[in-house]
Structure 1
Amino acid sequence: MYRDILVIGAGVLGLSSALHLKRLNPDRKVLVIDKFGGPGQGNTAKSAGIFLNLFTTEINYLLSDSTIDWFFHLQNELGYNLSLRRCGYLYLLNEARYRRLKAPISKMRKKGIELRTFGKEDLKRMIPDLVTDFGEEETELMGLEPVEAGILGVKCGSVDTDALARSLEAEFLKLGGEVSYRITATRLIIRPERELGVPGEPFVWQDIRVAGAETSKGEILAGTTVVAAGVWSERLLDPIGFDALMRPKKRVIFVFKHSRLRRLRDARGFSEHNILPFTHIPEISVYMKADPAEGSIWLGCADDFGRGYGLEDDPQPEGELYSNNIYHALVRFLPCFENVRPVNMWAGQRAINRYDRIPVVAPAPGMIYVGSATGYGITKCDALGRTVAALDAGEKGVELFGGRRLKAADLGIETRNVGKEVFKV
C-alpha cells in the first residue's frame, strides 16, 4: 500500500496534523493509522482534559493561546459540542512561591494574559473548605506551608477530549482523509534515496530516508511519514537513531463523588460557571478538576523527581498513591476529603521533555516527528498540527489560527529556538 502521507497516531496531535496536512494538500492521499479502535483512545483519553495559556515564552503562549481560540471556533462556528468551560486555572501558592513568581506573573500580564490575584482572605471566603492557617504539626512535622495567595488564569478551563478527537477526525474525513484503526506500526522503513537494488541496502555511504512503516497488517509506504504516536513514538524512533527529547512518565487520576465535596466542587465567584477552577496545589503536587456533568472531582498527582520513567502499554493506577501518600497531606489543606475514597481511578502516560518542556516538531528525511508535549499536547494541538503541515510544505513560517505566526524551525531539534520558560510553580 502507498499513501502520499502516513500519520502514525490518532490522538489529538496526530489528527490535528492530518487535518492540516490534508487542508493544505487536498489532492494528496493522507492516511491515519492507530493501534486502538478509534480516535483519541490512547493517552488523549486518559488526560485531565484542560486548556491553559499560562506561559512566559512567546512560543509557548502562541501555541496554547491560538489553540484555545481554535477550540471555541470548533464549538461556536463549526458546531461541535466540546463541553468547553472557561472555569479558569487556579494556583494555590505559599508565600515563598508567590514571591518567587511575581516577576513571571508580571511578564505574563504584559503579554496580555488575563490573570486575577486572590489573597488569603479572598480564598477563605470563596473556598470555605480550604485551610489557610497551619499548626505546628503541619509546618514542623510535615514541612507544609499554608496557602498565601491564589493566581487564576482566566482564559483556561476544560474540554471533552473524546469530543475533541472525534471533531478533528470528522473534519479530516470531510476533506477526504482516511483513517484505519487497530493497526500497529511496528517499525519505520528505511530506504536509500537512490536505490541500487542490491541486497543489504541501505549502505552507510547512501543517503537514506523514512519510506513508510511496517505494520501489523503489512507494509505501508509513504512519501512523508508523520510520527505522532505519543509515548509509543520511542519504539519507532529509537531503532533509527532519532532522539525525540522525550521520555514516558505515568500519571494517575482519581475520581471522587461525595456529598461532603459538593461545596468545594461548586465554589462560586471564580467564573460564570460557578464551579471550582482547575486547581493546582504545588505544595503537595496535586491538581483538581470539577466535573459538573458527573457531580465529581478529579484529582491527579504531578509527582516528578522520584517518579520513574518507563513506557507502559497498559499503565495501571496505584491506589496506594492516594491512600498511603497524597491523602495525608491533602486533608491538611482540604479536610472535606477526610475519609472520602475514590470511586474510580485510571492511569496514563505523558511524553516528558525534560530539556525545556516545550513540544518538538522536527523533520528528518521522509519523516516529521511531533510530540514531547510534556502533558500540554491538548492545549497546543492545533498549533502543532499547523506546524507539521508547514514543515511538510517547506514553509519557514506557520500561520496559526487567528493569523499570528511563528517560525517552524524554532520547534525543531538542531534549529531549536524556544527560549526559557520561567513560570514554574
Structure 2
Amino acid sequence: MECDTLIIGAGIMGLSTAYHMKKRAPSKKILVIDKYAGPGQGNSAKSEGGFRNIFTSETNYLLADTSIDFFFHMENELGYNLKMESIGYLWLFSEEQYEKIRPAVEGLKDRGVELEVYTREEIEVKIPTLMTDFGDDEEAELLGLKNVDYGVFGKKCGSLDADALVRAYEAEFLKLGGEVKYNTEATELIVKPEMELGIPGEPFVWQEKVITGTKTSDGEILADTTVVACGVWANQLMDPVGLDSFQRPKKRQLFAFKEPKLDPVMRTVGLNHENALPLMVLPTAGIFLKAELTEGSIWLGCADTIPRKFELEEDPQAEDDYYTNNIYHALVMYFGEFEDVRPMNSWAGQYSINSFDETPVIYGENGVIYVGCGSGSGIMKGDAIGRVADALWAGEAEAELHGGMKLPVANIGVKNRAVEREEFVI
C-alpha cells in the first residue's frame, strides 16, 4: 500500500495534523492508521478534558489559547457537541507559594490573560465547604498540608469532551477525503537509502538514509512522509532506528465520585455561570478536582512524580489504594464531605512527558515528522500542534495559528528550540 503521507496515531495530535495537512493539500493521499478500533482510544479519550490558557510560557499560551478558540469554533460554527464548559481553573496557594508565583501572575496580567486573584476571605465566600486555615491542627502539620491564602482563577478555562473532540477532527478529515485504517499496528519503520544500489546489506553507513513508511500488522505501507504521532508508543518505533522522541510515559489516574453528600462541594458562588466547582488545584501535592457537569459527578486526580516510575503500560489500570490510602488523607482535610466516600469509577492513562520543558516537540528528519510530548496538555493544545506539524510538512518557517497568530516552527523543534520556562504545571 502506498500514500503521500502516512500518519501513525489517531489521537488528538495525529488527527489534528491529518486534518490540517489535508486541508492544505486536498489532492494528496493522506492516511491515518492506529492499532485500536477507533479514534482516540489510546490516551486521548482517557483525558480529564481540561482546557486552559493560563501558561506563563508565551509558547504554551499561544498553543493553548488559539486551540481553545478553534474548539469553540468547532462547537459553535461547525456544529460539533464538544461539551465545552467554561467553568474555569482555580489554583490555590499558601502565602509562601503565592509569593513565589506572584511575578508570573503579574506577567500573565500584563499579557492580557483573563484571570482574577482572590484572597482567602473571597475564596471562603465562593467555596464555603473548603477548609482554608488549619491553624494548629497536628494532623495537618504532620501531613504537611498548606493553608489556602490566595487563589488564581483563569476565566478562559474549563472542561470539554476529549473523545468528542478527537472524533470531530476525524470527521472533518474524512469530509476532505482523508483515509483512516484502524486495527492496524505500526510495528517497524522502514529505513532505505535515498539512492538504492540493489546491494545486499543496504543501507550502508556512507549512504543517506530515509524513512519510507512502516511495516504494520496488515503489511507494509510506503509513504513520502511518515508522521509519528502515537504518543507514549513513539519510542517503540523511533528507538530502533536511532530517532529520539524526547518523551517517557508515566501513568496518570482519575477517580470519579457521584454521592449526594458531595453536592455542597459541587456548588460554588460566582465563579462561573453554572455556579459549579471549577477545575481546582489544591496547594498540597497537586491534587485537582472538577465538576463534570455532563454526569453530575466530581472527577479527581493527582499527578505524582517521585516515586511514580516511567513505564510504558499497554493497558494501565487505576489503583484503588492510590486514592484510599494516599490522596484521600489530604483531600478529606480540605473537603470533609469526602469522608468515607469511595469512587464510583476510576481509570488510568499515560502522559507522554518531556521533562526538560513540558512543551510539545515537533521536528522532521530523514523522511519522518515527529509530533509528540503532550506532557499532559496535548488535548488543549491539539489544534495548534496540528498546524505547526502541517507548516513543517509544507516547508514553512512559521505556522499560522487560528486567529492569525504566527509561531516559528523551529521554536518547538529540536536544533533551534526556543521555549520559555513554564511555571503553571499540573
Report TM bin, short chain: over 0.9
Indicate the larger mover: 280-289 or 188-197. 280-289
- What is residue 16 of structure 2 aligned with on the other side? 16
CA distance in 1, matches of 2:356, 2:272: 35
Are the aligned partners of 1:7 and 1:32 in contact in 2 as well (CA < 8 Å)? yes
Are the aligned partners of 1:280 and 1:286 in contact in 2 as well (CA < 8 Å)? yes
CA distance in 1, matches of 2:101, 2:286: 17
- What is residue 263 of structure 1 aligned with on the other side? 264
2:284 counterpart SS class = helix
In structure 2, stretches of 5+ residues that fail to align are none
**CA RMSD between the two structures:** 1.0
Report the Cα offset of residue 418 of structure 1. 1.2
Amino acid of the structure 2 residue aligned with 1:364: E
Are the aligned partners of 2:253 and 2:348 in contact in 1 as well (CA < 8 Å)? yes
Are the aligned partners of 1:34 and 1:180 in contact in 2 as well (CA < 8 Å)? yes
Report the Cα offset of residue 353 of structure 1. 0.7
Please give the residue correspondences for 1:4-403 in structure 2 after superposition, counting only pairs within 5 Å. 4-134=4-134, 135-403=136-404
Give CA-to-partner distance per residue, 1:178-233, whole Å, 9 cap, x none.
00111100111111111111111111111001110100000000000000001011
Are the aligned partners of 2:257 and 2:298 in contact in 1 as well (CA < 8 Å)? yes
CA distance in 2, matches of 1:423, 1:296: 26
TM-score, length of structure 2 as denominator length: 0.98
Report the Cα offset of residue 284 of structure 1. 2.6
Amino acid of the structure 1 residue aligned with 2:138: E
Percent of aligned pairs with the same amino acid: 52
After superposing on structure 2, the runs of 4+ consecutive aligned residues of structure 1 that deviate more than 3 Å are 422-425
CA distance in 2, matches of 1:26, 1:412: 26
CA distance in 2, matches of 1:344, 1:23: 39
Amino acid of the structure 2 residue aligned with 1:111: R
1:377 counterpart SS class = coil
Amino acid of the structure 1 residue aligned with 2:111: K
CA distance in 2, matches of 1:137, 1:260: 26
1:300 counterpart SS class = strand
Report the Cα offset of residue 57 of structure 1. 1.8
CA distance in 2, matches of 1:375, 1:94: 24
Report the Cα offset of residue 139 of structure 1. 4.2
Report the Cα offset of residue 424 of structure 1. 5.1
Indicate the larger mover: 63-72 or 239-248. 239-248
TM-score, length of structure 1 as denominator length: 0.98
Are the aligned partners of 1:245 and 1:355 in contact in 2 as well (CA < 8 Å)? no
1:284 counterpart SS class = coil
Classify 1:314/1:424 alpha carbon distance in 2 versus 1 (closer, same or farther; 3 Å). Answer: closer
Amino acid of the structure 1 residue aligned with 2:256: V
Give CA-to-partner distance per residue, 1:235-276, whole Å, 9 cap, x none.
011111112211000001001010111111122311112211
Task: Name the count of aligned residue pairs.
Answer: 425
CA distance in 1, matches of 2:141, 2:58: 40
CA distance in 2, matches of 1:415, 1:140: 46
